[in-house]
Amino acid sequence: MISTIAQRLPLTDATLRILDYVFDHDFLADVFSRYRGRSYQDVLTFLQRVHLLTDVLIGP
């Protein structure tokens, strides 16, 4: 369904490609390790929190 929409709407396709890059596991791990300050990971990792936030904001 999403791929059909993305083919018809170039802006949607570009947005999904950017999100795919930004939510890459290695990229997020690097961002977290650089800027975490005094933060830590417990039950939820930083990557899981980002994915949960994404699901809430743009839907599954």
C-alpha to C-alpha distance for 1 and 3, rounded to whole angstroms: 6
| pLDDT score, position 2 | 57
| pLDDT score, position 26 | 86
pLDDT of 7-52, one tens digit each?
A: 677 887 787 788 778 778 888 888 878 887 776 667 778 788 887 7
- The residue range of the domain holding 8 is 2-58
Token pair belonging to 21: 């890059």
| pLDDT score, position 3 | 60
pTM of the shown model: 0.47
Could you give the number of structural domains in the chain?
Answer: 1
| pLDDT score, position 40 | 66
Is the CB of residue 46 less than 8 Å from the CB of residue 28?
yes
C-alpha to C-alpha distance for 39 and 37, rounded to whole angstroms: 6
Is the CB of residue 23 less than 8 Å from the CB of residue 54?
yes
